[in-house]
Structure 1
Amino acid sequence: MVVRLSRHRLLALFCGVLAALTLTTPAFAAPAPAGTTRAEAAAGWLARQLVDGERFEVVYDGVAYPDQGLTLDAVFAFAAAGVADDSGTRALAWVTRPDVRDAYVGDGATEAYVGATAKLALAVAVRGGDPTDVGGVDLVARLNSLQSPTGRFTDRSAFGDYSNAFSQSFAILALDRTAQGVPAAAASWLAGTRCADGGYPLLPAQPVCTSDVDATALAVQALRAAGRGADAATGLRWLLSAQGTNGGFTNAAGTPNANSTGLAAQALRDGHRPLAWARARTFLAGLQVGCAGTPADRGAVDFDGGAFDPDTAARATAQAVLGLTGAGYAHLSAAGATTGAPTPDCP
């Protein structure tokens, strides 16, 4: 049975709000195993973590809940690495199962959530499906129904509106793959949220506009997809200024981590900043568990390089794969991906 999470919990899962420690352990930075790329090894580890080979779950107060958002992150990672296509097929089949789908995107009447709808529509398109018919639900039409006259996409919910830069960016990226393309007002609204320093905030219309690495990385990709190159360029310049000397990027807590770095690296590669992308990839490689690690953990990417934490490793690994490959959401495709979950070639 699918249990519905609260809207606050869904937002936390969607935005990937994670606790932070300090980067301390360089021992993960083992040489890339011969025959298997880092991204392939990471995606292979991720595939082996799927519950019943189809989904991720999150445990809250001792109860396991389905985590559709993280499962879709894995679908993106498998496509980016070009492996585990069978796992991607099963994962998307699970998310699009009517009960699981509706618990995630809403019923479309009283409840309809922008971020979840857009993310699922994008995942369906990445895997070559039709987002206008997902088990009889037209995700594209539903997404369009959530756009306000200002261009902002907002939730329709009795629990309130939790839309943010992530949901707006994913909506633009999903609609970019449709025949109608991106509504000009949607891109204009996102561009208008830019902070004075050039970056983009997670939440718009705050008393102080604070640029956020994750939000900027998504906004840059969405704006480039929408043809707003100049607006994306300011975000890219801010990302370059925010990159640490170790190549990593920090979250709001100031911790260099795989999640923020993975998304930023993806945006840098997509935005033709190869040197900065290479530095970010080096940072991510330093967080990957190599042959010196526990066999069950090899290939995983740790959140921050401290003691390996399985509770945060799945999301960290999924987003790190995007950065390791540099495959942007706008062009991501599962076409040609192979089946199977690669393992590092260790002695």
Structure 2
Amino acid sequence: MRRVFVALLCGVALLVPIPASAGVDRADAAAGWLARQMVAGERFEVEFDGVRYPDQGLTIDAVFAFAAARASRGYADRALAWLARPEVSGGYLGTGGEAYAGAHAKLLLAVLVAREDPRAFGGVDLVAGLRGLLAPSGRFSDRSAFGDFSTAFSQSFAVIALDRTREGAPVAAVDFLAGTQCSDGGFPVRFGQSPCVGDVDGTAMAVQALLAADRPVDAREGLAWLTGVQQSSGGFGAPANANSTGLAAQALAAGGEVHAAHRARSFLKSLQVGCAGTPQTRGAIAYDASGFDPATAVRATAQAVPGLTGTPFRALRGGGVAGAPTLSC
């Protein structure tokens, strides 16, 4: 395993890779660090105007990370128990006539990854709820007085999650997603924008969904677009960052782009805090090459771990060790 030096210069962490030495797997260490950041060992929160609110989406990202690393299973179990609370899931899925496609799709996938019953999760049938948001066009749309904010993430998570159910993903939904592809070969995050321009995150999600739904031909140009925008560092995004690179690494691995996926994983490894970091930061993955920042490291680590393992969303399975691994320094 390669390690990472963290040097502090004027208060900024600089990341410099160093040779390998014995220790736990990089993804294990990242999952362990992420687990130790959870509030009460079960959830993440976000602060706005001095008030802290539950962050169900980031908590689900952590569940995906734990499954990819096959580590911190106990934290994943507690996170699912927290998400099953009606006051928690209701605020996320929508109440009072509101229903959000992305939330239904993402939570459904997390429940399936954890091998829990998606038709009776906290008293909610997530499968029926998501299918009820399928528009005649094939788009999974929000039912909300505030408008429809569904995106490529909503659609892709819905296709991937429903593909794992006995009914499978609706053909109309897969067709809709394939039909959002831009002329440049990439996929946008937001639908209906003109001009249509490929986006790394949107393309990585769409490619994973199309491959999960056995539509490799539709995914092929998206994969080619991703390899075409990969930077010399192996990273993706502007600037190259852990979040976008993690998603891209998943898609590239799923599509058999072995060399490009390896380069993306190498970039993610270069962002990981190693034994030269403080004990509190070891294992974390920084957002970008500027170094560890507690404001961005949690989300960066959560979204980087599946890319670090090369495990696409369709293949995530819960389990593994219960504890939160640490680097052996």
Same fold (TM over 0.5): yes
Any idea what SS the aligned residue of 2:122 has?
Answer: coil
Aligned to 1:3: none
Specify which of 149, 157, 162 is matched with residue 175 of structure 1: 162
Contact 1:217 1:267 in 2 (8 A): yes
Runs of 4+ off more than 6 Å:
none
Partner of 1:17: none
The answer to whether the Cα contact below 8 Å between 1:221 and 1:329 also exists between their aligned partners in 2 is: yes
Give the aligned partner of residue 82 of structure 1. 70
Is contact 1:86–1:339 with CA below 8 Å preserved after alignment? yes
Instruction: Point out where structure 1 has 5 or more consecutive residues left out of the alignment.
Output: 1-23
Q: How far apart in 2 are the matches of 1:46 and 1:175?
A: 28
Q: What residue in structure 2 maps to residue 60 of structure 1?
A: 48
Do 1:28 and 1:290's aligned partners in 2 also have CA atoms closer than 8 Å? no
Q: Which residue of 2 aligns with 1:13?
A: none
- In structure 1, C-alpha distance between the alignment counterparts of 2:161 and 2:13, rounded to whole Å: 38
* Correspondent of 1:295 among 254, 270, 279: 279
Match of 2:205 among 173, 195, 218: 218
Q: Is the 8 A contact 2:208 2:254 kept in 1?
A: yes
CA distance in 2 between counterparts of 1:32 and 1:303 reads 22
Cα 1:76–1:102 change in 2 (3 A) is: same
Mapped partners of 2:49, 2:19: distance in 1: 39
2:22 paired with 1:27: no
Residue of structure 2 in register with 1:18 after alignment:
none
Selected match of 1:122 from 109, 118, 123: 109
Q: Which deviates more, 32-41 or 316-325?
A: 32-41
**SS at the partner of 1:119?**
helix
**1:79 is matched by which residue type in structure 2?**
A
- 1:321 matched to which residue of 2? 305
Residues 274-316 of structure 1: CA distance to partner in whole angstroms, max 9, x if unpaired? 1111101110111000111111000000001214211110110
Aligned to 1:306: 290
Matched residue type, 2:61: D
Farther off after superposition, 27-36 or 316-325: 27-36
- Picking from 111, 120, 124, the partner of 1:133 is 120
> Is 1:189 the equivalent of 2:173?
no
> Scaled by the length of structure 1, what TM-score is found?
0.89
TM-score, scaled relative to structure 2:
0.94
Cα deviation, 1:164-203, whole Å, max 9, x if unaligned, reads 1000000101100111101100000000000011110001
Q: Which residue of structure 2 lines up, in the alignment, with residue 240 of structure 1?
A: 227
| Distance in 1 (alpha carbons) for counterparts of 2:145 and 2:327 | 47
For the residue of structure 2 that corresponds to 1:78, the secondary structure is helix
Give per-residue Cα distances to partners, 1:212-260, cap 9 Å, x unaligned. Answer: 101111100101111111111111000000100110001xxx2100000
Q: Could you say what secondary structure the match of 2:280 adopts?
A: helix
Post-superposition Cα deviations, 1:64-105, rounded to whole Å, max 9, x if no partner, equal 111000000000000000010000000111111110000001
Give the match's secondary structure for 2:98. coil
Q: Name the structure 2 match of 1:280.
A: 264
Q: CA deviation at 1:26?
A: 5.5
Does the alignment pair 1:95 with 2:83? yes
Amino acid at match of 2:178: A
User: One-letter code of the match for 1:268?
Assistant: L
SS in 2 for 1:58: strand
Alignment RMSD, CA only?
1.3
Give the match for residue 14 of structure 1: none
Identity of aligned residues (%): 60
